[in-house]
Amino acid sequence: MKIMIVDDSSTMRRILKNCLTKMNYENIVEAGDGLEAQLVLEQNKDVELALVDWNMPNMTGYELLQVMKGNDEYKNIKVIMVTTESEKTNVVMAIKAGASNYVIKPFTPEIIAEKITATLNK
Amino acid sequence: MEKPTVDVNLINPFVKSVLNVFKTMVQMDLKRTSLTIKTSGKAFGEIFAIIGLAGSGSGNVVLCFPAELASQSVARMLGCDVSTLSRMDIKDGVGEIANMVVGSAKSEFSGTQYSFNISLPTVIEAESNSLEIDQKSDIPCLVVGFESNTGHKFVLEVSLKSNLMR
């Protein structure tokens, strides 16, 4: 399964990649913001899951989520928001926009694993 | 001129958040060692992550790291050896720590006169204890000292005021 990580922090992308590798997911593509993520998606039509940060330059994760869910090619990709945005209104906004799950930073590898498994089993 | 007053309770969500981020992501226990009001422009440390706050509440938060603690913290988060990290890796990692600290604290101010949105982190390096960060004179700056279980000191500076009339 191909998984896309979208976060402007290379540190956070490496942390998430480490978590995914431990879960035996090794087919991973990365982007540093929402705009770059759209280019990555164009070149990787087989992405099935995206882990997306909220606050990023150029295009936020929430804007990317809206673009993905409004596009027939990408709307079936499951999206987990991985963000420090923990206010209830933001969580509700993301879920309404089509996010499958929500992880609040900081997180443990166990939480990421649990949310990914739950999302893929939905 | 009347001196600005400060509610020291404003610091609590940030302190809680620092302890939680270091414990969860860095696997490092910190303890709070001091709380003072900043009187000089000089900031402690060599690597600084600055996040601006804007909204009903405004100001900024600065995480001040000695270089060794910064590199150790990033290496622990990534599960790698310090020697494999580049300067950019360390700066990015410190910025992400700041993002998590301030982002986590943000929700505790939601719906209050201090609610704010946060900027992306800016990370700068300077000679030891030489960086002057001028806080706005009308916003008192609280300085919280921490110490890690590895014996390193770490400082958090918080300036936050409400823009709403009371």
CATH number of the domain at B89, please. Answer: 3.40.1550.10
Best probe of the A interface among B16, B96, B108, by most A CBs < 10 A, is: B96
pLDDT for residue B1 is more than 60: no
- Give the list of residues 6+ apart from residue A110 with CB closer than 8 angstroms, or none: none
If one counts every other C-beta atom within 10 angstroms of the C-beta of residue A112, the result is: 21
Q: What is the DSSP string of B107-145?
A: GGGTTSTT-EEEPPPEEEE-STTT-B----TTS-EEEEE
How far is Cα B98 from Cα B29, in angstroms, rounded to an integer?
16
Domain that holds residue B103: 8-161
Mean pLDDT of all residues in B152-156: 95
Mean pLDDT of all residues in A11-30: 97
Contact B21 A106 (CB under 8 A): yes
Mean pLDDT of all residues in A85-101: 93
Q: Where are the alpha helices (DSSP H) in chain A?
A: 10-22, 34-43, 61-69, 88-96, 109-120
pLDDT band at A53 (very low <50, low <70, confident <90, very high): very high
The answer, for B13 touching chain A at a CB cutoff of 8 Å, is no
Picking from B130, B140, B152, B142, the residue whose alpha carbon sits closest to that of residue B43 is B130
- Helix, strand, or coil (residue A36): helix
B30 within domain boundaries:
yes
A–B CB contacts, 8 A cutoff, strictly below: 60
B114 within domain boundaries:
yes
Check: CB of residue B143 under 8 Å from CB of residue B160: no
Mean pLDDT of all residues in B109-122: 92
If one counts every other C-beta atom within 10 angstroms of the C-beta of residue A53, the result is: 29
Contact A11 B107 (CB under 8 A): no
The answer, for B21 touching chain A at a CB cutoff of 8 Å, is yes
pLDDT for residue B134 is more than 70: no
Question: What mean pLDDT value characterizes chain B?
Answer: 90
Best probe of the A interface among B99, B104, B106, B123, by most A CBs < 10 A, is: B99
pLDDT for residue B130 is more than 90: no
If one counts every other C-beta atom within 10 angstroms of the C-beta of residue B150, the result is: 13
How far is Cα A19 from Cα A33, in angstroms, rounded to an integer?
20
pLDDT band at B128 (very low <50, low <70, confident <90, very high): confident
Closest chain B C-alpha to A83 CA, distance in angstroms: 8
Query: B157, exposed or middle or buried, with CB in 10 Å at 0-12, 13-18, 19+?
Result: buried
B76 within domain boundaries:
yes
Our measurement of the distance from residue B160's CA atom to the centroid of its chain's CA atoms, rounded to an integer in Å, reads 12
Q: Which residue has the tokens 């890690």?
A: B148
How far is Cα A53 from Cα A34, in angstroms, rounded to an integer?
9
Question: What mean pLDDT value characterizes chain A?
Answer: 96
Q: Which two tokens stand for residue B136?
A: 């706005």
pLDDT for residue B4 is more than 70: no
- List the single residue in B25, B78, B103 with the smallest CB-CB distance to A85: B103
Nearest-Cα residue of chain B relative to residue A10: B92
B14-18, B77-81, B117-121, B127-131: segment of lowest average pLDDT: B127-131
The answer, for B95 touching chain A at a CB cutoff of 8 Å, is yes
pLDDT for residue B132 is more than 70: yes
The answer, for A85 touching chain B at a CB cutoff of 8 Å, is yes
**pLDDT tens digits, B52-66:** 999 999 999 999 999
ipTM of the complex: 0.92
Mean pLDDT of all residues in B62-88: 96
The answer, for B96 touching chain A at a CB cutoff of 8 Å, is yes
Better-scored residue on pLDDT, B150 or B68: B68
- List the single residue in B20, B78, B107 with the smallest CB-CB distance to A87: B107
Better-scored residue on pLDDT, B136 or B104: B104
- For the question of whether the overall pTM of this predicted structure is more than 0.90, the answer is yes
pLDDT for residue B135 is more than 70: no
B2 within domain boundaries:
no
Contact A84 B103 (CB under 8 A): yes
B138 within domain boundaries:
yes
pLDDT for residue A119 is more than 90: yes
B1 within domain boundaries:
no
Q: What residues of chain A lie within 8 A of the CB of B102, using their CB?
A: 84
Better-scored residue on pLDDT, B106 or B128: B106
B81 within domain boundaries:
yes
How far is Cα A7 from Cα A82, in angstroms, rounded to an integer?
9
Q: Can you give the pLDDT at residue B111?
A: 86
Q: Which residue has the tokens 């410190």?
A: B94
pLDDT for residue B149 is more than 90: no
- Helix, strand, or coil (residue A24): coil
- How many domains does chain B fold into? 1
Contact A106 B107 (CB under 8 A): no
Q: What residues of chain B lie within 8 A of the CB of A105, using their CB?
A: 25, 99-100, 103-104
Torsion of CA B69, B71, B73, B76, to 10 degrees: -140
- Helix, strand, or coil (residue A48): strand
Q: Which two tokens stand for residue A68?
A: 């993905």
pLDDT for residue A43 is more than 60: yes
B3 within domain boundaries:
no
* Angle at A47 (CA atoms; ends A41, A50), nearest 5 degrees: 85
